[in-house]
Amino acid sequence: MDPDEFRDFGKAAVDYIADYFKNIRKLPVLSSVEPGYLSASLPELPPKTGEKWRKVFTDVDNMIIPGLTHWHSPHFHAYFPTANSYPGIVGELVLSGLGCLSKDWESNPACVELEVRVMDWLCKMLGLPECFLNESEGPGGGVIQNAASESTLVGLLCGRQRSVKTMLAKNPHLTAEEIRGKLVAYTSKESNSSVEKASLLASVPMRLLPTDNQCRLRGSTLREAVEKDKADGLIPCCVVASLGTTGTCSIDELEELGIVCKENDIWLHVDAAYAGAALVCPEYRHLMKGVEYTDSFNFNPHKWFLTNSDCSAMWFRNTKDAEEAFKVKSTIQEEPQYEYEIEHWQIPNCRRFRALKLWFVMRIYGVQGIQKHIRHQVGLAKYFEKLVRNDERYEVLISCLGVVCFRLKGEDQLTQKLLDRIAERKKLFIMPYYIQSKLVIRFVICSRLTEREDIDYAWNEIISLTPVTRKQLSNAPIQTVRRTLSLKNAGSIVNKGIVTDINDKIKVELFI
């Protein structure tokens, strides 16, 4: 392909993407293909000679688009948002075009220095502790990782290494292997599955602790577990706390956990993969109360911060801990040219120039532009929540930021029936979840393109498929009241419910 063809191909791709977003509401969010659909249409061998790019592009339309789940459809309300923005896309294009990687500073000064600076910008934008800043006098600093799962693993490995080092100093008769065999880590049952995976990888058993009725891990629970393990001769080394659990976006009680960690010399890693982006708005910073206790903190700009994947931000209170854990002897420079050796704060050898796209996003949106995005999306969630609460057949169990967990009152089977119908029609993509053994629908504002009309669309789809009518409800007032009462008693979740009318129209206000 010659440069002129590249110009044509690249510009056609830009138009293709713009058109894709323009028409995205016309595409079904979920595909209807059967497993194995692609092997039927794609040859078993690659072409011997090169093909024209226009033909490949046609095949994207014919073979790929029909099999895609459109993660940026305004009707995609599953998982969490995956960032996508125009500045982010062009940022990715430019960094990919320049194709410059970096290792140490000498290998690419601009890549390393821009990353150091934008991580400081980000730290300040979120109001994180100053000790995390690269430019701070202390040993703290921030770096871009691939993913939250990798950051969790990095945090756990740092905690493991710190404990081994401390215990070796205190118990010179023990070997590192003996100490590693006694290590144990903690997280809540509600944390992301990647935390458990990190524990498999690091060979550190992970206790999945129970949460309170808001799905939050509490200090007392942690303290009890730590004390029991210590009594059994084990060595607690790391806690992975969630600032926004995957299921319900619940916020672990950082301050309570932090105190226990501090008392027991345990590494505290905070996984704020999704919710961390909200800290750009001062009104949400109360969510991170206790953050001053954390040893490492991670959030993904590639989730809710408009920066295309991959881009996962991680800060350390003391980057020397990371260097202790990851620095391979053969790569140590006696006199590094640059004061930040960020290449030793990560697992891979090389880094893509991801700082460039983050820089594009921060500059072209500005702080206010990103705040506006977060507030708009939270507003959409609140609007959806209001629609749900205004329908007496439904109850909202937990709602935080862009995540609303709701269900049909009564037995799970009603909600299950609704979920089945929604899945069958493929007009919305939403996921089920369980809160304290109750089936809920997890509705998340994901796409940057989602607007109020899309929320109305979603709600209309939901109520049109709701397997119980308002009339059925009003014909069975006693049953309904019973349900409401049992809800109040499930109180673990719902603390207070006011039934204002049990006859024609039942209005239930729940305060959670």
Instruction: List binders of a second copy among 74-103 (CB under 8 A).
Output: 78-79, 82-90, 92-94, 96-103
Tokens of 487: 């809800």
The verdict on 298 binding a second copy (CB under 8 A) reads no
Which position among 23, 329, 471, 504 is part of the footprint of a second copy (CB under 8 A)?
329
- Interacting span for a second copy (CB under 8 A) from 173-181, 236-244, 453-461, 494-502: 173-181
Quick one: 223 or 320, whose CB is closer to a second copy? 320
- Considering only residues 368 to 387 of the shown chain, the ones binding a second copy according to CB under 8 A are 368-369
In one-letter notation, the amino acid at residue 311 is: C
* Binding flag, residue 232, a second copy (CB under 8 A): no
Site for a second copy in 6-35 (CB under 8 A): 6-7, 9-11, 13-18, 20-22, 31, 33, 35
Residue 229 touches a second copy, criterion: CB under 8 A: no
Contact between 414 and a second copy per CB under 8 A: no
Q: Is the peptide bond before 310 cis (omega within 30 degrees of 0)?
A: yes
Q: Does 201 bind a second copy (CB under 8 A)?
A: yes
Report, in Å, the least distance between residue 218 CB and a second copy.
21
Indicate whether 285 belongs to the interface with a second copy (CB under 8 A): no
How many whole angstroms separate alpha carbon 162 and alpha carbon 143? 20
Does residue 319 belong to the site contacting a second copy (CB under 8 A)? no
Three-class DSSP labels, 89-143: HHHHHHHHHHCCCECCHHHCHHHHHHHHHHHHHHHHHHCCCHHHCCCCCCCCEEE
**For the packed helices 319-326 and 148-170, what is the interaxial angle rounded to 10 degrees?**
90
Residues 435-454 that bind a second copy (CB under 8 A): none
Site for a second copy (CB under 8 A): which residue of 27, 28, 66, 213? 66
CB of 446 to a second copy, least distance (A): 11
Phi first, then psi: what are they for 173, rounded to 5°? -80, -10
Residue 168 binds to a second copy (criterion: CB under 8 A): no
CA distance 271 to 223: 20
Q: Which of 298, 296, 326, 339 is nearest to 104 (CA)?
A: 339
Q: Which string of DSSP letters, residue by residue, matches 261-301? A: HHHHT-EEEEE-TTGGGGGGSGGGGGGGTTGGG-SEEEE-H
The reply to whether 51 sits near a second copy by the rule CB under 8 A is yes
**Cα Rg for the chain, rounded, in angstroms?**
25
From CA 170, how far away is CA 287, in angstroms rounded? Answer: 37
Tell the residue number behind the tokens 């046609």, with chain if given: 58
Provide the minimum distance between the beta carbon of 510 and a second copy in the complex, in angstroms, as a whole number.
29
Torsion sign (Cα): 411, 416, 417, 419: positive
| Span from 209-217, 352-360, 387-395, 476-484 in contact with a second copy (CB under 8 A) | 352-360
Q: Are 179 and 399 in contact (CB under 8 A)?
A: no
d(CA 308, CA 334): 36
The one-letter amino acid at 433: Y
Residues 27, 73 contacting (CB under 8 angstroms): yes
User: Contact between 425 and a second copy (CB under 8 A)?
Assistant: no
What tokens were used for 478? 């006693």
Q: State the nearest-atom distance from the C-beta of 273 to a second copy, in Å.
A: 10
CB 188 within 8 A of CB 211: yes
Select 111 or 254, whichever has its Cβ closest to a second copy.
Answer: 111
- Is residue 174 close enough to count as binding a second copy by CB under 8 A? no
- Nearest residue (CB) to a second copy, 146 versus 294: 146
Closer of 192 and 214 to a second copy (Cβ): 192
Of the candidate residues 27, 168, 174, 364, the single one contacting a second copy (CB under 8 A): 364
**Sole binder of a second copy in the list 23, 26, 39, 489 (CB under 8 A):** 39
Binding test (CB under 8 A) with a second copy, winner from 193, 437, 489, 503: 193
Minimum distance between the CB of residue 475 and a second copy, rounded to whole angstroms?
38
Please select the residue that binds a second copy; options are 119, 140, 144, 150, rule is CB under 8 A: 150
Minimum CB distance to a second copy smaller for 338 or for 383: 338
Q: Which of 64, 476, 485, 498 binds a second copy (CB under 8 A)?
A: 64
d(CA 93, CA 99): 10
If one asks whether residue 339 binds a second copy (CB under 8 A), the answer comes out as yes
Evaluate whether 432 touches 441 at the Cβ level (below 8 Å). Answer: yes
Nearest distance from C-beta of residue 185 to a second copy, angstroms: 14
Residues 376 and 370 sit within 8 Å (Cβ to Cβ): no
Amino acid at 68: L
For a second copy, the binding residue among 29, 75, 77, 114 (CB under 8 A) is 114
Q: Which stretch binds a second copy (CB under 8 A): 264-272, 288-296, 351-359, 378-386?
A: 351-359
